[in-house]
Amino acid sequence: MNPDLMDAQISEFLTETIVDIPDDPWSASALDRVEREIIDRFGTVSDVAAPANHEIADQITRFLGEVFRRKFEGRWLNVPGMGGKRYPDFGPVIGHEWIDIHLDVANLVTAAVDRQWGDYLSEIFTRNAHGYAEWVKAGRPPMAEWVEN
């Protein structure tokens, strides 16, 4: 994802799209607020992929990825095939050194719509926080060593 576009989309998301985000936008409580927005804006999973909703869905996807990248030492990766209908030629995922699976951020938006829980995203955040804390406590070992244990 283009870094300049990334910054612009996230800035617009935090200043215009959702103006009442918690003080720490990279937190579980911010994810709960964003999930409420997702559920309110998108009635169905198909609505997320509708051309009229592309920009807002893209902003949300980028924001979610940045939460997990910033809080848990992640990095953006392109894994083709993981972007679904919204990203047919690009698979925006977050990779971490402490877990050997990628976080499919495009799918998080549609999964939140499908589940309608209100705390789905913060539950994922909490699970990631636990795994990340364990990895940090172990001294941030290389993935091959960490996954083996």
What is the share, in percent, of the chain residues with pLDDT greater than 70? Answer: 95
Residues contacting residue 102 through CB under 8 Å, at least 6 positions apart: 77, 79, 82, 93, 94, 95
What pLDDT, on the 0 to 100 scale, is given for residue 134?
Answer: 95
Q: How far apart are CA 10 and CA 84, in angstroms?
A: 21
pLDDT per residue as tens digits for the range 8-47: 889 999 999 998 999 999 999 999 999 999 999 999 999 9
What pLDDT, on the 0 to 100 scale, is given for residue 83?
Answer: 67
What pLDDT, on the 0 to 100 scale, is given for residue 2?
Answer: 60
pLDDT per residue as tens digits for the range 40-98: 999 999 999 899 998 999 999 999 999 999 999 999 998 887 767 777 788 889 999 99
Which DSSP letter does residue 16 get? I
What pLDDT, on the 0 to 100 scale, is given for residue 147?
Answer: 76
What pLDDT, on the 0 to 100 scale, is given for residue 37?
Answer: 94
Using the predicted structure, report yes or no on whether residue 1 has a pLDDT greater than 70. Answer: no
What pLDDT, on the 0 to 100 scale, is given for residue 90?
Answer: 82
Confidence of residue 115 (pLDDT cuts 50, 70, 90): very high
Residues contacting residue 17 through CB under 8 Å, at least 6 positions apart: 37, 56, 59
Q: How far apart are CA 58 and CA 29, in angstroms?
A: 21
SS3 content of the chain, % helix, strand, coil (to 5): 60, 10, 30
Confidence of residue 3 (pLDDT cuts 50, 70, 90): low
Residue 92 near residue 55, CB atoms below 8 Å = no
130: amino acid identity, one letter: H
Q: Is 113 left (phi over 0), alpha (psi -120 to 50) or beta?
A: alpha
What pLDDT, on the 0 to 100 scale, is given for residue 5?
Answer: 75
